[in-house]
Chain A
Amino acid sequence: MGKISNEDLLKKISDKFHDQVTTVGEPFGLLTLETGREQIIDVLSYLKNDAALQFIFLTDITAIHYPGIERQIGIIYHLHSPVNNVRIRLKVFLNDGDVHIPTATVLWNGANWMERETYDFFGVIFDGHPDLRRILNVDDMVAFPMRKEFPLEDPNRVDKKDYFFGR
């Protein structure tokens, strides 16, 4: 266990942000919170700059896609406080078609490539990002391949058609 328990952590965040941050759970002891895009930078900034918490390390930014529900795209932030040996996870869910969220590069320079990767695979637009373009996939790709509506298989491939296998 870290120097700060999840209860203390949750209490500090609740005192500061009240009902703007809701608790999702504590899977595997990892406190998971949900918030909105209006206050995500405030929450991240508080977690990073608070003298006691010191979540100075941005482990990862990624996203997830749940098709068929109202707020399909979730953007997920993992933070680590090396001083207190504790981690936290933040989620922001957005409607498909309006996938805009403020950039975290104002807090961590390391968020630059993480946000480019999240844009590359999920099409999340990080407003204010200095250079939001594809990073891993080919530049001329039109799809956001980790979204569920795009097929995983390469459509150019013909040698796996059913008629080759008598189906």
Chain B
Amino acid sequence: MNDIQLVDAPAGVEGAGFFATSVDKVIGIGRSYSLWPLPFATSCCGIEFMATMSPHYDLARFGAERLSFSPRQADLLMVMGTIAKKMGPVLRQVYLQMAEPRWVMAVGACASSGGIFDTYSVLQGIDEIIPVDVYVPGCPPRPEAIIDGFMDIQKLVQTESLRRRNEPKYQELLASYGIL
């Protein structure tokens, strides 16, 4: 029990009895180790996600064991599986119901690009309707790959500004999807 690891403190100014850093970094660290994912699992990638959540791979190690099945309390939308065109408006609605800050992860070939389903009924990647932060390749990706993608999200959360929503670049991105 002596190998408990604590998160390193962010860069800052340290002296006798005080430590100064920016709020951005502290909150970023806090957020990144307590993301509430919303699993939007429609097919086999969702099965891999079940393994990722289970004790063998244990996503709880990264502070994400609390799944939010309400989009209003979720931080991270994990889209796992084929999204048919008829499901597209539903997915968009779920994204719109999430509060800022929000991140999106496209898990697997289908969510990223339509995958093998290059056909009239399947959405050719969820980035046609909502912005995506991290793409996880694989058909389906192994739990390690999903965890790797999740750690990339954590890095994004740690390094992004607190007011990401107010950045012109971000607003431009959302406007290009007709959101706001």
Residues of A participating in the B interface, judged by any CB pair closer than 8 Å: 136-138, 141, 143, 145, 150-154, 156-157, 159-160
Residues of A within 8 A of B120 (CB): 137, 141, 143, 145, 150-154
Q: Which of A137, A150, A152, A154 contacts B114 (CB 8 A)?
A: A154
Stretch at the interface among B31-39, B69-77, B121-129, B152-160: B121-129
CA distance A128 to B120 in the complex (A): 29
Q: Chain B's nearest CB lies how many Å from the CB of A123?
A: 14
Chain B residues within CB distance 8 Å of chain A? 85-86, 88, 113-114, 118-122, 124, 128
- Contacting residues, chain B, for A137 (C-beta < 8 A): 85-86, 120-121
When the two chains form their complex, are residues A159 and B113 in contact, meaning their CB atoms are under 8 A apart?
yes
Are A157 and B85 interface neighbours, CB within 8 A? no
Q: Is there an interface contact between A153 and B118, defined as CB atoms closer than 8 Å?
A: yes
A153 to B119, CA, bound (A): 4
Name the distance in Å between B121's Cβ and chain A's nearest Cβ. 6
The 8 Å CB contact of A156, one of B86, B121, B124, is B124
Instruction: Flag if A160 contacts B128 (CB, 8 Å).
Output: no
Secondary structure dominating the interface of B:
loop
Instruction: Please give the distance in Å from B122's CB to the nearest CB on chain A.
Output: 7
Chain B: which residue is nearest A151 at the CB level? B120
Chain B positions within 8 Å of A160 at CB level = 118
Contact yes or no, B114 A138, CB < 8 A:
no
Give, as a whole number of angstroms, the nearest-CB distance from B90 to chain A.
12
How distant is A158 from chain B, measured CB to nearest CB, in Å?
9
**Which 4 pairs, one residue from A and one from B, show the smallest C-beta to C-beta distance?**
A157-B124, A145-B120, A138-B85, A153-B118
Q: Which residues of B contact A152 (CB under 8 A)?
A: 118-120
> B86–A138 contact, CB under 8 A?
yes
Closest to A156 in B: B124
Between A and B, 11 residue pairs with Cβ closer than 8 Å are A137-B121, A138-B85, A145-B121, A150-B120, A151-B120, A152-B119, A152-B120, A153-B119, A156-B128, A157-B114, A157-B124
